[in-house]
Amino acid sequence: MMSNYIVRQNLIDLLYRGCEYSLILSIAPAGSGKSILLEQFSDLLAKVSPSTQVLMFDISERHDDKGGSCLFAQLFEAIKRIAPLWDEPYFNLFKDDREVETELLIDVFRQALTQLDFPLVIVLDDFHNLSSGQVQHTLEKLIYALPSHVTVVISSRYYPALSLTRMKTDGIALVIDSNDFKLSEDDLERLNKAIGAPQLDASQVVAVLQQTEGWFVGTKLALLALDKSNGTPMTVFNGSRSELLDYLGHEVIHRLSPGLKTFVLLTSVCQSFNRELCENAFGLDYGSAKLEEVRMQDLFLGADPNRQGWYRYHPLLREFLLKILEQENGIEYIQQLHLKASEFYLSIGDKTEAIYHARLSADQNYYLQILTQVCSDWFKEGDLEPIVRSLNDVSDELLNTHTSLLLYKLYALSFTRCFNQAAYYLEILKDITRRNSNAELTSYTRFFERILAVFQNDSEVEKYTLRKTKRQPNTPVMVDAFNKLLDAYLLMCHGQLNEAFRVANDVLPSLQRMSHKFFESFATPIIILCDRNLGRGIEAVQETSKAFNPIRHGKKTPRWINLATAMMVVDYEQNQLDEAWKLGTELVPLVNHSCATEAVAMAYLYSSRLMHIEGDGTKAGRLLEQLERILSLGDYQRFCSQVIQEKIRQALVDTKKNECDLIFERYGLSEFMVKGEVQSLRHYEERRERLVLAAVYWLIAKTRYKQAIELLEELADALDLLGIKSRALVARSNCISIVFRQGHVESALHSLTKLIERYGLVCFSRSVFDEAPGLADVFKAGIDLDKIKLPSLFRDTFESLLGTQRLSSHDVSLKHLLTGKEFEIFELLRSGITNESISQQSGIALSTTKWHLKNIYTKLGVSNRTEAVSFVLRQVD
């Protein structure tokens, strides 16, 4: 039996769970395996629930009488066979030809079903054969009247005329649709084994499922075709296969009226269609009755999931219909239809479909004209993936003769991080340039060489010097504009923030005149980062919100990625962690396709930091490892240094000393502990700054505070000299945190006050708090001791960090310096009891007690318990 070919256990389980509902609706095209599933479901119930009775009915045209007497009488007789009904109403219900009143019928069935003392499942298969609205209306009322132990299963090729939305809202209906019926890879392999075909390799499995979209009959025919062809690639199985033609011809085409056949054949030219396309492009009569008639004929017609109000045929049926159309009208006729469709799609702004149909129209001049214009529009908007997809259909020979398309392909590949492919097409451009001695193409060649160099190699950043040459006459305006953006970016990386800010702002007007929103999305983050590092946090927030908010809910293009990354950082800096996290979850899956390594690094780094803040250190570490693998594909020492700093920062915060040691050794951080190295820098080197900070974190973990402070002060002085205020603040804040760790509360608070006066509170962003572990404790101590006064806006912004209960002054240093366990042990120590007694009362081993006491002494800057108690007494005084 066919039902033994493959058991769809997931669908069977779904049906079984559906018995909790009054209605299970199973909707899928012919050949999806609906009837097979019902047989398997019935077999399952017989095994796992023997008391459950199943009544199965195959609905046919004879059940489609006006009042449904035939269907309900048959149902009534079946119920009587499993549970004899003796009351008089049941004998008289269907005794003559008169139509039974709906309310009486419902009432009689309700009474009969209520008397049953066992679960009952009523299965109505092939329900699409029943079109009577009155019968369906009666059935709906009956479903609402069913007792809880009765379930109706309707299996149909299309949705019946039931109030399904209401029924689902009322919680009485479960829907299993065509998506649920799609075969999985495991299903396919089991089906292949069941029909006795040779085992498939992974590529064949994927190919079959892609071509058939998991349709049961189509998949089975594909497997049989593959077996007969001795493993020939799946291109042999398409709409022309005789097996599929016979099936579809029997199930579909013979039913169609001449007018409906014309409608179906013409609309098969399009991947999906709607009323406007049918009427305006093809001149078809598209009425609701016509579309409903198509759906009633079961033409594997379904809603297009990507377009509301649009419909599409199953791909295999569409291939078959196109073959018939070509046989009856010729290929030239189809090409004219494609031309009309392309013009229509272009008129409604659907550029992808316009290109698709233009390519199939056989009018190459029209195709190339449309393709060039659309690629230009996409590029300016930063919608690069469609450019790559569309130009993949263009041969290298054609790109050689149409250099504008070659340039757009280079743009798209370069700015989506397809660097190897971009390098290949750059060689083609170089060859064309050499043959033609074209000055404009020469400027493009140099431009793309520079892009690939900067995006793949940090050494380009290190060796950069600002160009002094003027723009050459033959340099395209767009090329000149982006070269200036690269200048601004490299200046920023060198720490020349004011110059970078000026260059980025200077180029913005020309980008706006060209309506080049994609290139604008590079200028804006540069301006924002310069503002941020120069201590102009408010300006950075305003600029970011202004740029990103208009496209916040738009398409996730590389332009969106650039601006969303900037917005994520701004949200994080303002301590709006939920908003930053939402953007991070969207960005991480996308940024690998952004050209800017800056965006990739920031999305991963800040997402990792946010996870770590939430307490999920495992996922945070996994993100850093993923980023490290991405960066290993190029020379990205600068971004790798950010990863190293974040790794050891998280280990320090989690007090994982062994992990700090491992990171220190793995990345050779000892070379960044040499005094005097930072002060010799001629320009800002982010890599060196980040690795010095990483080494400092290790020194803090080892309690080598003096050496850490020396390095930090040297680093801060160098950064201040270069004008990198935000990074200098991080270095100086770490100094304060170390002083506080040593128990010098007054000194730390005094330094914090001076730091606020020097840099302003506006510079104290969330990253300063996180990259200077313990800084929040210093702020809290200052608040508790009334040593610092903070505006309400600042306290509200960082409430999650600074919000604490007020402590008495003699407990401040202890509460902020010691962990919970250390504070508990110190309280026992103050009572004068021995180490052994402390161990007993705190429930820990003596060796652990000694380890905690050693940490306490180190944090308080004392050497024994007497000095520790004296420390507290001094605080009280």
Domain spans of the chain? 2-181, 182-237, 238-329, 365-455, 456-637, 638-714, 724-811, 820-876
Q: What pLDDT band is residue 431 in, cutting at 50, 70 and 90?
A: very high
Q: Summarize pLDDT for 121-159 with one digit per residue, the tens.
A: 999 998 888 877 788 888 899 999 898 899 999 999 888
CA pair distance 116, 121, nearest whole angstrom? 12
Burial 534-556 (b: 16+ CB within 10 A, else e): bbbbebbbebbeebbeebeeeeb
- How many CB atoms within 10 Å of residue 170? 11
Contact 136, 3 (CB under 8 A): no
Confidence (pLDDT) at 807? 39
Portion of the chain with pLDDT greater than 70, in percent: 85
3-state secondary structure at position 457: strand
Per the DSSP assignment, residues forming a β-bridge with 54 are 121
End-to-end CA distance of the chain: 93
Q: How confident is the model at residue 206 (pLDDT cuts 50, 70, 90)?
A: confident
Looking at the chain, how many residues does it have?
A: 877
pLDDT surpassing 90 at residue 196: no
Nearest to 105 by CA among 65, 72, 57: 72
Q: How confident is the model at residue 245 (pLDDT cuts 50, 70, 90)?
A: low
The residues near 834 (Cβ < 8 Å, ≥ 6 apart) are none
pLDDT of residue 460: 61
| pLDDT reported for residue 193 | 84
pLDDT at 165: 83
**Axis crossing angle, helix 809-817 with helix 745-759, rounded to the nearest 10:** 80
The predicted structure's pLDDT at residue 3:
37
Sign, CA torsion 435/440/444/446: positive
**Do 273 and 310 contact (CB within 8 A), yes or no?**
yes
Identity of the residue numbered 166: R
Distance of alpha carbon 731 from alpha carbon 712, whole angstroms: 5
- The most confident of 79-88, 414-423, 700-709, 778-787, by mean pLDDT: 700-709
CB 423 within 8 A of CB 409: no
Multiple choice CATH, 238-329, 1.10.10, 3.40.50, 3.10.450, 1.10.3470? 1.10.10
Q: Hey, which residues does 154 pair with through a beta bridge?
A: 25, 124
The arithmetic mean of pLDDT across residues 852-857, rounded, is 79
pLDDT in tens, 482-498: 888 888 888 888 888 88
With left for phi above 0 and alpha for psi between -120 and 50, is residue 213 left, alpha or beta?
left
Tokens standing for residue 174: 């479960």
Give, to the nearest 10 degrees, the angle between helix 637-653 and helix 657-666.
160
Is the distance from CB of 697 to CB of 673 less than 8 angstroms? no
Lowest mean pLDDT among 68-72, 164-168, 260-264: 68-72
* Residue whose entry in the numeric block shows the structure tokens 């295999």: 316
- d(Cα 757, Cα 735) in Å, to the nearest integer? 16
pLDDT of residue 399: 93
Of 844, 868, 871, which Cα lies nearest the Cα of 857? 868
Q: How many angstroms separate the CA atoms of 705 and 32, rounded?
A: 71
Residues 202 and 185: their CA atoms lie apart, in Å, by 9
Instruction: Please give the Cα distance from 108 to 105 (Å, whole number).
Output: 5
Of 727 and 62, the structure prediction assigns the larger pLDDT to 727
CATH of region 820-876, choose from 3.40.50.720, 1.10.3210.10, 1.10.10.10, 1.20.1250.20: 1.10.10.10
The tokens 């599933």 sit on which residue?
A: 37
Please report which confidence band the pLDDT of residue 249 belongs to, taking 50, 70 and 90 as the band edges. Answer: low
Half-sphere exposure of 604 (CA within 13 A, CB side): 29
Predicted pLDDT of residue 424: 94
The whole-number pLDDT of residue 99 equals: 60
Closest CA to 188 of 4, 6, 3: 6
Q: Is the pLDDT of residue 4 over 50?
A: no
What distance in Å separates the CA atoms of residue 855 and residue 554, rounded to the nearest whole number? 53
Query: Which strand (E) or helix (H) includes residue 429?
Result: helix 419-436
Judged on CB neighbours under 10 Å (0-12, 13-18, 19+), 361 is buried
Q: What CA–CA distances, in Å, run from 835 to 334, 510, 828? A: 93, 74, 9
* pLDDT above 70 (res 592): no
At what angle are helices 597-613 and 617-631 packed, to 10 degrees?
A: 170
Q: Check whether 46 has a pLDDT greater than 50.
A: yes
For 492, the 3-state DSSP assignment is: helix
pLDDT at residue 250, rounded to an integer = 59
Burial 236-272 (b: 16+ CB within 10 A, else e): ebbbebebbeebbeebbbeebeeeebbbbbbbbbbbb
Residue 58 pLDDT grade (very low, low, confident, very high; cuts 50, 70, 90): confident
Q: For residue range 314-372, what is the model confidence (pLDDT) as tens digits? A: 776 788 889 889 989 999 999 999 999 999 999 999 999 999 999 999 899 999 999 99
Residue 809 has pLDDT above 70, yes or no: no
Read off the tokens for 570.
């701004």
Domain 456-637 has CATH 2.40.160.20: no
8 Å CB contact between 532 and 723: no
**pLDDT value for 470:** 56
Q: Which two tokens stand for residue 257?
A: 């009226």
User: Which class for 213: exposed (0-12), middle (13-18), buried (19 or more C-beta within 10 A)?
Assistant: middle
Average pLDDT, the chain: 83
At 452-483, the pLDDT tens digits run 888 877 766 666 666 654 556 678 888 888 88
Strand residue runs (E) in 559-700: none
> Which alpha helices (H) appear in 457-516, and where do they start and end?
459-462, 477-493, 497-513
CA angle 779–781–782, rounded 5-degree value: 65
Q: What percent of the chain has pLDDT over 90?
A: 31
Concatenating the DSSP letter of every residue in 771-809 gives: HSTTHHHHHHHHHHTT-----HHHHHHTHHHH------H
DSSP states of 358-385 as a string?
A: HHHTT-HHHHHHHHHHHHHHHHHHT--H
Work out the average pLDDT over 253-274.
85
The structure tokens 């033959």 sit at 474
- Tell me how crowded residue 143 is: count the other CB atoms within 10 A of its CB: 21
pLDDT at res. 342: 96
Show contacts of 317-321: CB within 8 Å, 24+ apart: 317/239, 317/248, 317/252, 317/268, 318/239, 318/268, 318/271, 319/238, 319/239, 319/240, 320/239, 320/240, 320/244, 320/245, 320/248, 321/239, 321/264, 321/265, 321/268
DSSP letters along 275-329, please? HHHHHHHS-----HHHHHHHHHTT-SEEE-TTSTT-EEE-HHHHHHHHHHHHHHH
What local confidence, expressed as pLDDT, does residue 409 receive? 95
User: CA–CA separation, 485 vs 471, rounded Å?
Assistant: 14
Give yes or no for a contact between 159 and 27, defined as CB atoms under 8 angstroms apart. Answer: yes
Can you tell me the distance from the alpha carbon of 252 to that of 80, in angstroms, rounded to the nearest whole number?
38
Q: What is the mean pLDDT of residues 599-609?
A: 92
How far apart (Å, rounded) are the C-alpha atoms in residues 629 and 624? 9
Per-residue pLDDT, averaged over 742-768, amounts to 92
Q: Which amino acid is at 594?
A: S
State the average pLDDT over residues 651-674. Answer: 92
Residues 501-560 pLDDT 10s: 999 899 888 888 888 988 888 888 888 888 877 877 778 788 888 889 999 988 888 889
Q: Indicate the range of 663-677, 749-763, 848-862 predicted with least confidence.
A: 848-862
The Cα–Cα gap between 695 and 669 comes to: 6
Gap between the Cα atoms of 361 and 356, Å rounded: 9
**Quick one: CA dihedral 601, 602, 608, 612, positive or negative?**
positive
Contacts of 875 (CB under 8 A, 6+ apart): 745, 809, 810, 812, 813
- Angle, helix 477-493 to helix 517-533, in steps of 10 degrees: 20
- Report the topology of domain 2-181: Rossmann fold (3.40.50)
